[in-house]
Amino acid sequence: MAPRVSTDVDDALAVLRAGGLVAIPTETVYGLAADASDEAAVRRIFAAKGRPADHPLIVHVADADQLPRWAAHVPPAAATLAAACWPGPLTVLVPRADHVLDVVTGGRPAVGVRVPAHPLTTELLHRFGGGLAAPSANRFGRVSPTTAAHVVRDLGDVPGGVDLVLDGGPCPVGVESTIVDCTVVPAQVLRPGGIPTEQVERLLAGAVAPASGPSRASGMLASHYAPACPVLLADSVDAARVIAGREANPLVIGDTDDLVGYAQQLYDLLRRADDEGRSAVVAVMPPAAGLGHAIRDRLLKASADRAG
């Protein structure tokens, strides 16, 4: 049975307080949310998504003042980034407070926290009063949802998948948050996203290192964000046309200088390729600057070899 879709925050509050799952709109993508202090509810997220139990979740909170509730201590880099970027598409990894559930962090010593910038979810979080653990509201490894309809399509027929979709319209950023590990010095950008890497470096006075070590945050696996059809990458529009000429029925994307629009439309275009039965997506890689970092990251993961 398809989940209920509503624009009423009262409906979402009732479901969350009863231990249910609500798909929430954010400026980045829709998240599949549960009360972060309710272990049984959080475990339902993993079951609904088919998500590995050791893959950590992000805790969404109403404002920056709540960060110390989730952190054993707040590193200076996290405080700086939170003050400058929240509400907004940035997640900081901080040492977890004692009360944070293992199921939320995948058993790791750090927890990811962010303050989303969407009016419905902001109201929801303020009225809920606690944190909401929420990965993207789709089956694990597949294309993230940027509309309520995407959520219903992905999880609507999954038993126990989602109880309510809070419809906040299309997501204006369209790619996930930037994740910065502030438990290490210098801080590391683990996943590029809606806050450009250059902005993080500027705020931290250049004290940022490339990501290293094993996957320890959402979106760090080699293959992710993938449609069913192959994704082929091109370094230029001309190269994309050559690659597309070898395909039976390709969809060419990224023939634009508008990186904001590219990011907003990326996941919808990947989904459209499957809906239209395209033989492949041929994607033009944007420059490695600004939102281009995030778009390149998602395309590289969408095009990677898919285990299993």
pLDDT of residue 103: 97
Asked if residue 238 and residue 172 are part of one domain, the reply reads no
Asked if residue 197 and residue 63 are part of one domain, the reply reads yes
CA distance 67 to 173: 23
| Domain contains 298 | yes
| Domain contains 290 | yes
Report which secondary-structure segment, H or E, holds 191: strand 187-191
Q: Are 131 and 36 in contact (CB under 8 A)?
A: yes
Asked if residue 164 and residue 128 are part of one domain, the reply reads yes
| Domain contains 217 | no
Asked if residue 236 and residue 118 are part of one domain, the reply reads no
Residues whose CB is less than 8 angstroms from the CB of residue 165 and which lie 6 or more positions away in sequence, other chains included: 3, 4, 5, 6, 22, 23, 30, 137, 148, 151, 152
Asked if residue 185 and residue 265 are part of one domain, the reply reads no
Strand partners, 32: 23
> Would the pLDDT of 308 be above 50?
no
Lowest-confidence segment of 35-49, 120-134, 195-209 by average pLDDT:
195-209
| Domain contains 138 | yes
pLDDT of residue 206: 82
**Phi, then psi, of 49 in degrees rounded to 5:** -85, -20
Residues whose CB is less than 8 angstroms from the CB of residue 215 and which lie 6 or more positions away in sequence, other chains included: 55, 221
| Domain contains 223 | no
Domain housing 92: 4-210
pLDDT of residue 63: 98
Asked if residue 108 and residue 14 are part of one domain, the reply reads yes
**Count of domains for the chain:** 2
| Domain contains 216 | no
Per the listing, tokens 């634009």 go with: 256
Asked if residue 181 and residue 105 are part of one domain, the reply reads yes
| Domain contains 175 | yes
Asked if residue 191 and residue 290 are part of one domain, the reply reads no
Q: At what angle do helices 148-155 and 259-275 cross, to 10 degrees?
A: 40
Strand partners, 181: 93, 188
Local structure of residue 286 (DSSP, 8 states): P
The stretch 272-300 carries a mean pLDDT of 96
Q: For the domain that residue 202 is a member of, what is the CATH number?
A: 3.90.870.10
Asked if residue 125 and residue 29 are part of one domain, the reply reads yes
Q: Are 264 and 176 in contact (CB under 8 A)?
A: no
Residue at which a domain ends, from 176, 210, 244? 210
Asked if residue 206 and residue 238 are part of one domain, the reply reads no
| Domain contains 249 | yes
Q: Are 145 and 30 in contact (CB under 8 A)?
A: yes
> Would the pLDDT of 2 be above 90?
no
pLDDT of residue 217: 61
Q: Among 214, 211, 226, which Cα is nearest to 299's?
A: 226
3-state secondary structure of 259: helix
Strands lying side by side in the sheet with 231-234? 231-234, 280-284, 250-253
The C-alpha angle with vertex 73 and arms to 192 and 201, in degrees rounded to 5, equals 30
Per-residue pLDDT tens for 156-188? 888 888 999 999 999 999 999 999 999 999 999
Asked if residue 264 and residue 203 are part of one domain, the reply reads no
Local structure of residue 145 (DSSP, 8 states): P
Per-residue pLDDT tens for 225-249? 789 999 999 999 999 999 999 999 9
3-state secondary structure of 110: strand
CA distance 302 to 87: 28
Asked if residue 135 and residue 281 are part of one domain, the reply reads no
